[in-house]
């Protein structure tokens, strides 16, 4: 299975190359791979329908993450759809995209998407599944934005990515929680311990996170709006990603996890409500669309809602219905999209109001659309019929609230019937119109649509095949053996049959009266536009403004404000620490310790403090520099008094040099002006005064503690015998801690380079070769 | 003396930070210099003070008799002073060049490089 | 602008300052002093020389570019650490010769290190002073 | 020792031969290749033999200065070497003559040397010295060229980073006053035995602030966005990749080795800081149009994930932090190099001035997309594995709010990256494209080659996340087992 996924990725990279050299055949060549995978899957079907095929690969980026693949009934069904529709789409795209610039990239992205999607449905490890899940979002993003020079495409791509990406992150959190509770990310193992998961305190959060992920991906309310937007992509993309496969990922996930998490009342409530709302909303919105693709997209939203409802219901019958509908929908919706694309290609428009009587011009497309439309409407002999029968049966045998549920499903299905008529009767029947730029479509454009249309009929006529395939999928969802009994034509009149008939009748009636309905439809459409989609737009547009405002508050360009933040944070943290964790008390014997102060020392202290005051009050540069010098020399004298002659010497010489530099460098600057208002000065004084007090306190506390310095004793003893020097400080500097000194002179060297470059290298000044030597 | 010096050091820190909070570039440098003095003195004082007994081994002796000043902080401070000097020299030249570029000593005018663009 | 007295005084003081710088370097191991202070002293000598004459003359008197001085100083410090490294001990292992020379005392890798410090300090200080002086001249032009 | 000495020697030789551009280039490339080999050798040795320690000058341990190579240090040195080499190659084709002549190459070498020293040192004051080397080298690099924006950025960078030095020196002084030692291992021992009367936690706050500024945490990060977009790309890329990581590394070092007396409090503060930093960083990124400034703010928000791992303080989380550092170094340097390429190909650093590069420069689009998605944590790229690890621990510790913020910031990061994509790569060609000159072959080779190499490494890290994560796990075990560090430095039985 890995080989299939990898092969598709590899071919994806090769596709642009193939497209460059064989622009005419590239679609067909690319289609060979999914076709091959399709055949291989059929080959594996017997095993898959039985015990399932498991593959483990020794690749584990993190503990607990593994590349495990499992082919069972559900993944087989999905994989067949993915590879089958994939082959047709690539074949179709070969004709659809012919002659367009950078078509190679489209094949590459489609193949990469297919690989990701296959990985998604085959993976049996939640994290591996998630990896593929996100890859489908990314490829979808790139495909939606295919016409990247158009603003509309970019906006739609962004919308799709942020909605599905955000949902994806929620899903990830859910997966991590599942892993923490269940102790594993292997889906098979999780399915075996549903009890642990469902009894956990985080069951509800997990469910909600899962809901966010699945609902955003499968375009459920209130995240449905990205899908119609995604219709700006080329039609092969819409047909493949946004109707047949990717949007089913959320549904697939629910199906996959329903053995582990499903069956609770929370599960049913959450997903049935979501599904039903989406079903009705999507159906309603599909009625008023004039753009074929948008109409199909809303209808897809509605279908996805139906699937979610069924999975939420979770009974045996409901899972059977879901499996059947999944299959039927992929076929008829894929076909209808491709028909829409062919019409667009031939006539240059997708507007339903401008299309009529195409049957004569596009007979083969009409046939494909007819088959698909009949299946969609749920007429007997076609796959869609069986699915609808099961949907109603599941509703009728659901237990509480039967009538409400049945009624809502009926309403949803009526909308499908209307859409089916729009896609067949409305466009193909009647007197034909003439189009200026009409050209007959190439063979792939109708053939690729006819195949799934015909398959819908074939599956309807071969109930055993359909039952086996869907039954195996339903078994994987339901978690217990399931056998579906299907029939070509119903043998007796059942309530389900009556409901089906009612659906179709209502659909026809509604289609005929659609003109009278329009004001109603418009009203609801406005609401939907202002709702979630509007909120999303406001968020996306408002966020940068909000960010700029917040950032401008902090990053305001004023250095003093930055310093204030830092000093404030430091004091705050210290304050919190002392308040909450017990601070050090003031040492008790301060007066005793103060009494050892000698007279000359007192004078020195006063001089330093006076110098300091003078620094702060200075209003000419000279005063400032001289006062700084006083403080510096005062410090040097402290060093002399307390046995540090080396320090004093260094401090003196540095002080002298510093003053010279100060004068040399700064004499051109203006005098020191006072710029801050009184209030700022007061605030700063209090804050810095506090900082100083903290430092004083720290010194007092620490010097009050006993200190045994092993270093002092050792250095004093080792200096002469081992270091051959009498000046311990110097021996430390050049020998014991010589690497510090090495670093120190390196700092000096770099400073020299920096200063030199600052002074000599200036923008706009030409530096003559050889003249810049120091 | 420790207590008195502790107060001095506290005052040095306070003054250093205060000067850094001003708008003038020259005062900024003065603040940095003061902070340098302050941290050096702090290291000196918290390592305990010993009056007038430099850590020099007398001729012919193998070690020094207690009490004597701790040589370790002295070595550290020496390194720190020299590094501080290098930084101070760089700072001076930088400020001068910045002054030339902006043509103003007021740090509040030095904001071209980091405010977000609110028109966006 | 340069006064005669300054020039003459500099002529006299310049060699004295250099000698004192050397003295500080050599005695540093046993008494207050050392490469850093010695370097500052030598640098002051050249700075004074530049003040009395001109930067160009001072550069000539130095005979080497100031960056070369920094580089060589760093190289001295670096090389003084190598013998230990090659002898199988860690970097900067101090080595001492047993013979005592007049004035200089015992030769050692430590002395080489301290000389490196001196050279760097001279180089750095003079780089700054010269570059400042030259920048001033240019701005006045 | 070699990782320090090789760049040092090359820098010295460059300084001696000042002004010789060609020689400087050669020495810098030789130095970084040498550094790369030394780093590989060091990592292999440490991986096989455990923590190595070398007493400089052969003076016994708590007295002299020791260099200690444990796995985290060795990994970081390797990353520094890789980034150094890539950026230097990039610089050969993008640096202007003036900067090349005025010491760009030796300054980069010295910066690398300072970093290696900071990673290796086992002595607190020596750490300060290495920090200063890094600092002054970065000052010089930042201001090199002397444009107005550079000078303005430098003043802020300078002032705030000197505040770091002051805080750090104060902290070192206070610690020495309490314990009488500077050696990290000895300090670790003494502080563990410290009584309640010792204000250890208070001193820890000093270091938290100092390294917090350095690591660019909220609300201490202002220096970074004020300055990182001002110098040429070959300077800001190396800053972006490594400088803040040194701060994170120092935080990790002292908050695993020294300050573990009151982890509920100190690491709780780090946790809160990390969450706030994530948010404010990503918001900042959305406020700007200049791609480099966007990336600069993303550094801040990503740094927070690394601090988060430290704050969670369990082996898995610290392993996540180390993995995250490696990932982020590769990714952010790639992005900065890409920003240079974008400006070269599209004529501007500003989103609004750009457009249509997806159509005209597919390779560049790919080179942007991979690190950008990795930064946002899109699987299966390296950033995803890093975030997943941290998310797992955060949720396991039931820190719901922090987990939610971490996820939200991931989404906002993606949003921010996609915004760049939408306007620079998609959309109609931008107005700035007119000024673009075609690239010479040699230029193309150096610029694309170095970027491609880093992006390939990101992909390799994504693909071989398993072995890389195992290494990070072993590194994190070393961090959380100070006894091993102490024994390696002070000898067994101490």
Chains in contact with B via at least 3 Cβ–Cβ pairs below 8 Å: A, C, D
DSSP string, D301-339: HHHHHHHHHHHH-SHHHHHHHHHHHHHHHHHHHHHHHHH
* Interval C10-34 mean pLDDT: 79
Residue-level pLDDT at A568: 92
Report how many domains make up chain B: 1
Higher pLDDT, A8 or D372: D372
A394 in Cβ contact with A410 (< 8 Å)? no
- Residue D129 contacts by C-beta under 8 Å, 6 or more apart in sequence? A739, A740, A743, A744, A747, B79, B83, D117
The H or E element containing residue A270 is helix A265-287
Task: Pick the closest to residue B42 from A545, A489, A763, A702 (CA basis).
Answer: A702
DSSP string, A68-129: EEEE-HHHHHHHHHHHHHHHHHHHHHHHHTTT-TTHHHHHHHHHHHHHHHHHHHHB-BHHHH
Question: Does residue B115 form part of some domain?
Answer: no
Q: D220 and A569 in contact by Cβ < 8 A?
A: yes
Portion of chain D with pLDDT greater than 70, in percent:
99
Q: Which residue of B has its CA nearest to D172?
A: B43
Q: B94 and D155 in contact by Cβ < 8 A?
A: yes
Q: What's the whole-number average pLDDT of chain D?
A: 90
Q: Give the CATH number for residue B34.
A: 1.10.287
| Greatest mean pLDDT range, A58-62, A505-509, D200-204, D370-374 | D370-374
Q: Which domain covers residue B80, as residue numbers?
A: 2-50+70-102
Q: A744 and B87 in contact by Cβ < 8 A?
A: no
Residue environment code for C87-102, b if the CB has 16+ CB neighbours within 10 A, otherwise e: eebbbbbbeeeeeeee
Q: Which residue of B has its CA nearest to A589?
A: B3
CA distances from D190 to A581, A716, D202 (A): 21, 22, 16
> What are the average pLDDT values for consecutive 10-residue runs of chain A, which has 774 residues?
83 84 83 90 85 85 89 92 92 85 86 93 94 94 90 91 94 94 91 88 94 93 89 90 90 93 90 94 86 91 94 91 93 92 87 83 88 90 89 84 86 90 85 72 85 90 88 88 80 84 90 79 65 83 86 82 91 90 74 78 90 87 88 92 88 85 76 74 91 91 83 81 80 85 91 88 58 45
* Interval D463-479 mean pLDDT: 92
Portion of chain C with pLDDT greater than 70, in percent:
77
D325 in Cβ contact with D303 (< 8 Å)? no
Which residues on chain B are in Cβ contact (under 8 Å) with A624? 26-27, 30
Q: Does A716 touch chain D (CB under 8 A)?
A: no
Q: Does A492 touch chain D (CB under 8 A)?
A: no
Question: Does residue B63 form part of some domain?
Answer: no
Query: Which one-letter DSSP state was computed for residue D64?
Result: S
**Lowest mean per-residue pLDDT among A226-240, D122-136, D423-437:** D423-437
Q: B15 and A615 in contact by Cβ < 8 A?
A: yes
- Residue A134 contacts by C-beta under 8 Å, 6 or more apart in sequence? A165, A168, D378, D379, D384
Q: What's the whole-number average pLDDT of chain C?
A: 77
Q: D57 and C93 in contact by Cβ < 8 A?
A: yes
Question: Does residue B38 form part of some domain?
Answer: yes
Instruction: List the alpha helices (DSSP H) in A494-558.
Output: 495-512, 514-528, 534-554
Q: C36 and B82 in contact by Cβ < 8 A?
A: yes
Question: Does residue B92 form part of some domain?
Answer: yes
Q: Which residue of C has its CA nearest to D53?
A: C90
CA distances from B76 to A365, B13, D172 (A): 88, 19, 10
Nearest to A736 among D57, D197, D410 (CB): D57
- Residue D369 contacts by C-beta under 8 Å, 6 or more apart in sequence? D421
- Best residue of D56, D59, D460 to probe chain A, by most A CBs closer than 10 Å: D59
Residue-level pLDDT at C99: 59
Q: Which residue of D has its CA nearest to C83?
A: D57
Query: Which one-letter DSSP state was computed for residue A196?
Result: H
Residue-level pLDDT at C101: 57
Q: Could you give the CA distance from residue A476 to residue A488 in angstroms, rounded to a whole number?
A: 25
**What is the least distance, in Å, from the CA of B58 to any CA of chain C?**
9
Confidence of residue C1 (pLDDT cuts 50, 70, 90): very low
Asked whether residue D196 carries a pLDDT value surpassing 80, the answer given is: no
CA distances from D329 to A248, A606, D28, D137 (A): 37, 52, 20, 19
Q: C132 and B89 in contact by Cβ < 8 A?
A: no
Q: A730 and C74 in contact by Cβ < 8 A?
A: no
Portion of chain D with pLDDT greater than 90, in percent:
61
Q: Does C47 touch chain B (CB under 8 A)?
A: no
Higher pLDDT, A52 or D71: D71
Residue-level pLDDT at A557: 78
**What is the least distance, in Å, from the CA of A730 to any CA of chain C?**
6
Nearest to C128 among B56, B82, B89 (CB): B89
Residue-level pLDDT at A770: 40
Using a 10 angstrom Cβ sphere, with 0-12 exposed, 13-18 middle and 19 or more buried, the burial of residue B58 is exposed
Assigned token pair, A635: 């410090």
Q: What is the residue whose two structure tokens read 């390294």?
A: D211
Q: Does B94 touch chain C (CB under 8 A)?
A: no
Q: C78 and D1 in contact by Cβ < 8 A?
A: no
Q: B116 and D152 in contact by Cβ < 8 A?
A: no
Nearest to A734 among C65, C113, C125 (CB): C113
Q: Does C124 touch chain B (CB under 8 A)?
A: yes
Assigned token pair, A494: 């059942």
Chains in contact with D via at least 3 Cβ–Cβ pairs below 8 Å: A, B, C
Dihedral sign, CA of B23, B25, B27, B28?
positive
- Residue D308 contacts by C-beta under 8 Å, 6 or more apart in sequence? D271, D274, D275, D278, D317, D321, D390, D394, D402, D406
Q: What is the residue whose two structure tokens read 């001035």?
A: D353
Q: Which residue of A has its CA nearest to B65?
A: A716
Dihedral sign, CA of A344, A346, A349, A355?
negative
Residue B116 has, within 13 A of its CA and on its CB side, a CA count of 25
Assigned token pair, C53: 């004459």
Residue-level pLDDT at A771: 40
| Beta strands A53-57; A67-71: pairing state | antiparallel
Three-state DSSP class for residue C33: coil
Give C107-126 pLDDT, tens digit per residue: 677 788 888 888 999 888 88
Q: Does C89 touch chain D (CB under 8 A)?
A: yes
Q: C132 and B54 in contact by Cβ < 8 A?
A: no
Higher pLDDT, A294 or B55: A294
A 549-588 → D contacts, CB under 8 A: 550-552, 554-555, 557, 559, 562-563, 565-566, 569-570, 573-574, 576-578, 580-581, 583-584
- Best residue of D134, D152, D216, D416 to probe chain B, by most B CBs closer than 10 Å: D152
Q: Say yes or no: ipTM exceeds 0.95.
A: no
Confidence of residue D415 (pLDDT cuts 50, 70, 90): very high
Residue-level pLDDT at A768: 44
A742 in Cβ contact with D114 (< 8 Å)? no
- Chain centre distance of CA D461: 17
Question: Does residue B64 form part of some domain?
Answer: no
- Residue D327 contacts by C-beta under 8 Å, 6 or more apart in sequence? D374, D382, D383, D385, D386, D458, D461
A699 in Cβ contact with B45 (< 8 Å)? yes
* Interval D427-432 mean pLDDT: 83
Q: A692 and B3 in contact by Cβ < 8 A?
A: no
Give C100-112 pLDDT, tens digit per residue: 555 555 567 778 8
Q: Does A664 touch chain C (CB under 8 A)?
A: yes
| Greatest mean pLDDT range, A498-512, D301-315, D420-434, D436-450 | D301-315
Q: C117 and A741 in contact by Cβ < 8 A?
A: yes
Residue-level pLDDT at D91: 92
Higher pLDDT, C66 or A391: A391
Nearest to B56 among C31, C36, C128 (CB): C31
Question: Does residue B58 form part of some domain?
Answer: no
Which residues on chain A are in Cβ contact (under 8 Å) with B14? 688-689, 691-693
Q: A759 and C92 in contact by Cβ < 8 A?
A: no
Q: Does A740 touch chain B (CB under 8 A)?
A: yes
């Amino acid at each position: 299975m890995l080989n299939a996924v990898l092969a598709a990725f590899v071919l994806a990279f090769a596709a642009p190359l193939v497209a460059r050299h064989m622009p005419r055949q590239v679609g067909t060549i690319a289609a060979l791979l999914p076709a091959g995978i399709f055949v291989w899957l059929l080959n594996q079907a017997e095993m898959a329908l039985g015990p399932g095929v498991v593959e483990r690969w020794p690749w584990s980026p993190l503990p607990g993450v593994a590349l495990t693949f499992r082919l069972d009934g559900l993944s087989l069904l999905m994989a067949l759809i993915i590879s089958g529709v994939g082959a047709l789409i690539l074949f179709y795209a070969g004709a659809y995209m012919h002659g367009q610039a950078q078509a190679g990239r489209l094949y590459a992205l489609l193949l990469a998407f297919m690989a990701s999607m296959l990985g998604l449905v085959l993976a049996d490890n939640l994290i591996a599944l998630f990896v593929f899940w996100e890859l489908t979002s990314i490829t979808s993003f790139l495909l939606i934005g295919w016409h990247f020079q158009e603003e509309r495409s970019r906006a739609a791509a962004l919308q799709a990515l942020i909605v599905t990406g955000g949902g994806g992150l929620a899903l990830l959190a859910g997966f991590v929680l599942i892993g923490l509770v269940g102790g594993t990310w292997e889906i098979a193992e999780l399915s075996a311990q549903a009890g642990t998961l469902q009894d956990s305190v985080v069951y509800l959060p997990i469910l909600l996170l899962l809901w966010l992920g699945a609902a955003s991906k499968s375009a459920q309310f209130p995240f449905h709006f990205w899908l119609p937007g995604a219709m700006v992509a080329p039609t092969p993309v819409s047909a493949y990603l946004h109707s047949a496969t990717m949007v089913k990922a959320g549904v697939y996930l629910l199906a996959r996890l329903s053995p582990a998490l499903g069956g609770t009342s929370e599960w049913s409530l959450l997903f049935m409500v979501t599904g039903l709302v989406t079903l009705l909303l999507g159906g309603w919105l599909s009625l008023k669309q004039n753009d074929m693709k948008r109409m199909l997209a809303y209808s897809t939203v509605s279908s996805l809602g139906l699937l979610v409802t069924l999975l939420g219901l979770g009974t045996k019958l409901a899972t059977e219905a879901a499996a059947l509908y999944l299959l039927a929908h992929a076929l008829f919706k894929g076909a209808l999209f491709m028909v829409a694309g062919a019409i667009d290609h031939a006539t240059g428009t997708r507007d339903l109001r401008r299309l009529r009587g195409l049957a004569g011009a596009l007979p083969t497309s009409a046939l494909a659309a007819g088959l698909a439309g009949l299946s969609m409407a749920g007429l007997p002999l076609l796959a869609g019929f069986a699915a609808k029968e099961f949907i109603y049966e599941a509703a009728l045998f659901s237990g509480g609230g039967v009538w409400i549920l049945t009624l809502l499903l009926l309403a949803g299905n009526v909308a499908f019937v209307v859409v089916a008529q729009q896609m067949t009767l409305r466009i193909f029947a009647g007197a034909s119109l003439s189009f200026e730029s009409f050209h007959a479509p190439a063979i792939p454009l109708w053939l690729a649509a006819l195949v799934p249309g015909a398959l819908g009929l074939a599956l309807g006529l071969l109930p055993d095949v359909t039952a086996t395939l869907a039954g195996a999928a339903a078994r994987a969802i339901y978690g217990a053996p399931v056998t579906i009994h299907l029939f070509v034509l119903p043998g007796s009149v059942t309530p389900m049959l009556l409901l089906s008939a009612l659906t179709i009748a209502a659909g026809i009636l509604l289609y005929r009266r659609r003109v009278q309905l329009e004001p109603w439809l418009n009203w609801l459409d406005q609401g939907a536009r202002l709702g979630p989609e509007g909120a999303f737009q406001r968020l996306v547009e408002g966020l940068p403004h909000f960010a700029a405002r917040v950032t401008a508050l902090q990053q305001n360009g004023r250095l003093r404000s930055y310093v204030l933040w830092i000093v404030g944070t430091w004091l705050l943290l210290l304050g919190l620490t002392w308040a909450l964790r017990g601070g050090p008390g003031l040492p008790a014997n301060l007066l005793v310790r103060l009494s050892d102060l000698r007279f000359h020392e007192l004078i020195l202290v006063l001089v330093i403090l006076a110098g300091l005051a003078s620094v702060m009050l200075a209003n000419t540069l000279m005063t400032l520099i001289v006062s700084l010098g006083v403080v510096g020399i005062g410090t040097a004298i402290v060093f002399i008094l307390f046995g540090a002659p080396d320090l004093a010497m260094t401090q003196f010489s540095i002080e002298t040099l510093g003053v010279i530099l100060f004068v040399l460098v700064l004499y051109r600057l203006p005098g020191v002006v006072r710029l801050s208002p009184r209030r700022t000065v007061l605030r700063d004084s209090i804050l810095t005064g506090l900082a100083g007090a903290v430092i004083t306190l720290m010194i007092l506390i620490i010097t009050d503690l006993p200190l045994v310095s092993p270093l002092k004793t050792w250095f004093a003893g080792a200096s002469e015998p081992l270091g051959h020097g009498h000046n311990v400080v110097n021996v430390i500097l050049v020998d014991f801690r010589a690497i510090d000194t090495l670093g120190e002179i390196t700092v000096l060297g770099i400073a020299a380079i920096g200063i030199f470059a600052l002074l000599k290298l200036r923008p706009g000044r030409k530096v003559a070769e050889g003249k810049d030597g120091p | 003396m420790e207590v008195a010096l502790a107060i001095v050091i506290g005052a040095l820190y306070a003054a250093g930070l205060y000067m850094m909070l001003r708008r003038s570039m020259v005062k900024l440098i003065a603040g940095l210099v003061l902070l340098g003095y302050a941290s050096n003195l702090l290291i000196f004082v918290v390592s305990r003070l010993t009056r007038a007994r430099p850590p020099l081994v007398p001729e012919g002796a193998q070690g020094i008799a207690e009490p004597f000043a701790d040589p370790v902080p002295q070595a550290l401070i020496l390194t720190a002073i020299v590094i501080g000097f290098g930084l101070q020299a760089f700072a001076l030249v930088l400020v001068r060049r910045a002054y030339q570029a902006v043509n103003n000593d007021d740090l509040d005018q030095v904001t071209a490089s980091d405010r977000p663009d609110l028109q966006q | 602008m340069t006064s005669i007295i300054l020039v003459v005084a500099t002529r006299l003081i310049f060699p004295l300052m250099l000698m004192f710088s050397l003295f500080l370097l050599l005695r540093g191991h046993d008494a207050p002093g050392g490469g850093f202070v010695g370097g500052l002293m030598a640098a002051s000598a050249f700075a004074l020389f530049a003040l009395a004459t001109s930067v160009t003359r001072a550069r000539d008197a130095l005979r080497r570019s100031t960056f070369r001085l920094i580089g060589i100083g760093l190289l001295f410090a670096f090389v003084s650490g190598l013998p230990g490294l090659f002898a199988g001990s860690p970097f900067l292992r101090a080595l001492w010769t047993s013979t005592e020379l007049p004035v200089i005392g015992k030769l050692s890798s430590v002395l080489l290190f301290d000389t490196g410090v001196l050279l760097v300090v001279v180089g750095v200080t003079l780089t700054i002073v010269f570059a400042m002086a030259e920048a001033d001249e240019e701005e006045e032009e | 020792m070699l990782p320090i000495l090789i760049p040092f020697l090359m820098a010295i030789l460059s300084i001696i031969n000042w002004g010789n551009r060609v020689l400087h280039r050669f020495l810098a490339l030789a130095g970084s290749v040498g550094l790369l080999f030394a780093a590989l050798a060091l990592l292999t040795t440490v991986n096989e033999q455990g923590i190595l320690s070398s007493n400089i000058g052969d003076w016994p341990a708590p007295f002299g200065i020791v260099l200690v190579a444990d796995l985290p240090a060795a990994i970081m040195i390797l990353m520094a070497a890789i980034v150094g080499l890539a950026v230097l190659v990039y610089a050969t084709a993008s640096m202007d003559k003036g900067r090349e002549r005025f010491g760009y190459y030796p300054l980069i070498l010295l910066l690398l040397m300072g970093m290696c020293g900071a990673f290796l040192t086992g002595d607190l004051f020596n750490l300060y010295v290495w920090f200063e080397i890094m600092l002054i080298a970065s000052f010089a690099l930042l201001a090199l060229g002397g444009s107005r924006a550079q000078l303005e950025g430098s003043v802020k960078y300078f002032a705030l980073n000197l505040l770091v030095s002051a805080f750090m020196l104060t902290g070192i002084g206070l610690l020495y006053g309490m314990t009488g030692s500077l050696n990290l291992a000895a300090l670790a021992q003494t502080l563990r035995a410290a009584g309640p009367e010792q204000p250890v936690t208070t001193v820890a706050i000093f270091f938290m602030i100092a390294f917090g500024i350095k690591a660019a945490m909220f609300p201490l990060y202002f220096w970074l966005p004020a300055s990182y977009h001002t110098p040429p790309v070959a300077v800001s890329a190396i800053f972006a990749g490594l400088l803040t990581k040194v701060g994170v590394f120092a935080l990790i070092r002292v908050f695993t080795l020294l300050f573990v007396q009151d982890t509920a409090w100190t690491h709780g503060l780090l946790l809160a800081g990390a969450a706030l930093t994530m948010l404010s960083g990503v918001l900042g990124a959305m406020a700007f149009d200049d791609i480099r400034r966007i990336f600069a703010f993303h550094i801040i928000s990503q740094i927070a994930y690394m601090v988060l791992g430290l704050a969670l303080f369990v082996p898995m989380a610290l392993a996540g932090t180390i993995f995250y550092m490696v990932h982020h170094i590769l990714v952010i340097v790639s992005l900065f190099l890409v920003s240079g390429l974008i400006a070269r190909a599209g004529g501007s650093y500003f989103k609004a001035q750009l457009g249509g590069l997806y159509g005209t420069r597919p390779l560049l689009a790919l080179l942007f997309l991979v690190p950008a998605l990795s930064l946002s944590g899109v699987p299966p790229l390296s950033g995803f594995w890093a975030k997943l690890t941290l998310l797992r621990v955060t949720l396991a510790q039931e820190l719901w709010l922090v987990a939610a913020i971490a996820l939200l910031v991931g989404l906002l990061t993606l949003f921010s990256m996609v915004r760049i994509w939408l306007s620079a790569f998609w959309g109609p060609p931008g107005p700035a494209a007119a000024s673009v000159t075609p690239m010479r072959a040699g230029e193309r080779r150096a610029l694309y080659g170095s970027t491609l190499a880093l992006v390939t490494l990101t992909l390799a890290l994504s693909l071989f996340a398993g072995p890389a994560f195992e290494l990070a796990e072993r590194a994190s075990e070393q961090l959380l087992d100070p006894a091993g560090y102490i024994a390696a430095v002070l000898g067994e039985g101490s």
